[in-house]
Structure 1
C-alpha cells in the first residue's frame, strides 16, 4: 500500500503540478488510463480462482518493480505520453493482482471477516500514509529518488508475500473443467454468480454510485482545489492526502473496537447524509486549517463506508468463487473512475475546481433513500455477529 499511495500521489502531481495539464486534458488522460484495467480486472478474478494466489501476486509484483526503474531515464524531461504509459502500466498490473489480494484475506485470517477487513484497512492505510509522506518530498529529493524508493518498496512487499505458504485454488477440479469453455463463457459465469446474490448486487450498485461522484470528487477535484484554490505545492497536496487518510485510519480503528456490527448496512446508509454536510462545507472554501479538518472528516466517512461495503461482500461471497465476485466489486470502483474523470474533469474545466464537489450532494441523498427503501441492506444481519468470539 505504501507503493500504491506513493504512485497515486506521484502520477497525479506529474500531470497537475509538473506538466500543469488542464482539467479537461487530465480528465481524458485519467479516462483512458483507467479504462484499460477494467477488462484485465475480470481476467484477474478468473486467474486468481484457478491459480496459486501467492505465486500470481509475486509474478505481478516483480513486473511492477521494473516499471518505475524504466521511467528513471526520462525523469528529467517527462512528457505527457511517457507519464501516461507509466500510469497505465502500473494500473494494469494492480488490476490483475487486486482480486487475488482481496481473496486471500479470507484464507489466511484467524478472526471473523469484519475484524479482518478492518485490521487490513488500518494497516494498509498506515502504510499508505508513509507513501504519501514520501511523495510529498518530491520537490525536495527529486523524481529519480522517488522512483527508486517506489521500486524498493514493491520489492520489500514481494519478499514479505513470499514468506506466506502456498495458496492453491480452492475451486474443485471438476468445477474447473466445467468452467473451461472459453473466456467469454467464464466472464458470463462471473456476472451470473454476482447477479445470483441480490444483496451483493445492491451493495455493489450503491457503491458504484458513491464512487462515481464522491470518490471521484476526491480523485479529480482535490488536486485542482489544492493547486488553484489554495495555490498549494506538492507538500500541501501530500498534507491533504495525509489528513484524509488519517481520518480513514481513525474511523477504521474505531470500527475494530465495536465490531462485529450486527447491522453494518444501517451505518452505511446513515453515513450518506453526513457526507452531504462534508461536501457542502468544502464547497464553501473554508480557511486552510478548517479545510484540513473537513478533509479528515471526509476520510472518516469514506473509511467507514468503504470498509463496511467490503465486509458485506466478503461475508456473502462463496469461497470457491470469491475472487470472481470480488473482481466485480473492484470493477465497480474502477468502472466509476473513467466516467467520473470525464464528467467531473469537464465540469472543473468549464467552471471551477470546487464545482466537482456539488454532484456528490444529491447522489449521497439518493443513495440514502435507495439503500433504505430499495434494498434489504437496512435489515441485513451480519454472519460475523453470530460467531462465538463476537
Structure 2
C-alpha cells in the first residue's frame, strides 16, 4: 500500500496521529530532564515522576476503552488532545512563577496520564474507520499495512519531537512547552474531522464495569490474544520500565547533558523508523506471533549487551537496534489486536492491551528506580535481560502466538 493510494480520511488520521506523537516525543525528553537537570531529583524520585504518567492507566484506561466503544472515537480523541494541551499550558504558566518541585511534577505527570488513558484506545479505534474506503473492505493485508503506516506516523512524530527537545539547553523549557500546546490543538482539529455525524450511541443503562468485563472475557477467550496481553505486560514491566528510568541515569553518568540523552532517544526512534519502513516494504508476514517472540529474544540480548557498559557511541548504536526491535514487536502486536478483536469490543480490547503495556510499565519504572537507587543502573539492565530470556522460553513452550497464522490477501 503506497502513500498515494491511502484513503483521504487516512491522511487526516495519520497527520493527527503524528501531531500527538510529536508532543509525546517532546514530553519523553522534557519531563525526565526537568526532573533530573532542573529540579535535580534523585533516581528514586525520578522513578515516581515517570510512573506518575503511567499509573493513571491502571484506573482510567479501561474506562477510556468503554467510552470509545460507546461514544464517537474521534470526538473522544479530540477532547483528550485538548486536555493534554491544557496540562502543558498549566506547567508553562507555573514556570512563569517559579521552578516546579516534586509534587508539581507528580501532579503534571498524573494529569498527562489521565488524558492519555482516554486518548489511546479512542485514537487507535480510528484505524479501520480511516483505512477502508467502504465497510466491506476488511483485508487482513490492508489492516496490517495501515497499522504499519500508523506506527510510522507515531515514530516519525516522536523523532521530530525529540529532535526539537534536544535543543533544551539552548532554548529552555518555555518554547518547547508552547510548541506542545500548539501541536496538540492541531491534532484535536484533525482527529475531530474524522467523527461520524450521527447521534451518540447510548449506554443503554449498562454499568461500565459490566462493559469492561465483557471486553476482558472476549480477550480471554482467544488464546493468541491472551498470550499476547501477558507478554505485553512483561515487556511493559521489564523493558519500558527500565528504559524510562535507566536511560536518563546512564546519560547523566556519561556527563554529556540533555543533548546526549536526546541523542540516545533519537537513536532509539531512528531504529523504530527504519524497522517500520522495512515492514512497509516487506509486510508483516503470515506468522506475526513468531515475529513477536523473536523480538523478545533480540531484546534480551540487547539488554545484556548494554549492561556490559558500552562507549557513548556504542550505547547510541545499541539504542538504535533496541528501537528497531521494539517497533517491530509493537507493530506486530497492534496488528494482531486489530485483526482478532471483534468490532463491537475493539476499543475495550485495545484498552486492555494498552493497560497491560503501560500499567505494568508504571510498576516497572518504580522497580527500576528502586533497584537503581541501591545498585548500578547497568545491574538493572543485566537482570532485565536475564528475565527476558526466561520469558522467551516460556512463551515459546506455550505456543499460542507461535502457532498463529493470518491470511495474506492483496488489499
Fold-level similarity (TM above 0.5)? yes
Q: Which residue of 1 aligns with 2:30?
A: 10
Q: 1:38 to 1:168 in 2, by over 3 A?
A: farther
Which deviates the most, 189-198 or 349-358? 189-198
Which deviates the most, 368-377 or 132-141? 368-377
Runs of 4+ off more than 4 Å: 167-171
Q: Counterparts in 2 of 1:149-164, with a 5 A limit? A: 149-164=179-194
Distance 1:28 1:22 in 2: 10
Q: Which residue of 2 aligns with 1:290?
A: 314
Residue 131 (structure 2) pairs with residue 106 (structure 1): no
Distance 2:57 2:197 in 1: 24
SS at match of 2:206: coil
2:158 pairs, out of 114, 121, 128, with: 128
Report deviation, 1:31: 3.6
Distance 2:362 2:410 in 1: 43
Q: Which residue of 2 aligns with 1:56?
A: 76
Q: Is the 8 A contact 1:269 1:367 kept in 2?
A: no
CA distances 1:51-109 after superposition (whole Å, capped 9, x unpaired): 11111111222222222222223214122222221111111101111111111101211
Q: Which residue of 2 aligns with 1:259?
A: 283
Report deviation, 1:253: 1.0
Distance 2:234 2:123 in 1: 24
Distance 1:38 1:25 in 2: 20
Distance 1:81 1:37 in 2: 19
2:88 pairs, out of 60, 68, 75, with: 68
Q: 1:168 to 1:211 in 2, by over 3 A?
A: farther
Name stretches of at least 5 consecutive residues in structure 2 with no aligned partner.
Answer: 1-20, 133-140
What TM-score results when the alignment is normalised by the length of structure 2?
A: 0.88
Report deviation, 1:32: 4.3
1:280 pairs, out of 284, 304, 311, with: 304
Q: RMSD across aligned C-alpha pairs, in angstroms? A: 1.9
What TM-score results when the alignment is normalised by the length of structure 1?
A: 0.93
Q: 1:32 to 1:143 in 2, by over 3 A?
A: closer
Q: Which residue of 2 aligns with 1:212?
A: 237
Residue 356 (structure 2) pairs with residue 327 (structure 1): no
Number of residue pairs aligned between Structure 1 and Structure 2: 381
Residue 119 (structure 2) pairs with residue 94 (structure 1): no
Q: Is the 8 A contact 1:209 1:363 kept in 2?
A: no
Report deviation, 1:170: 10
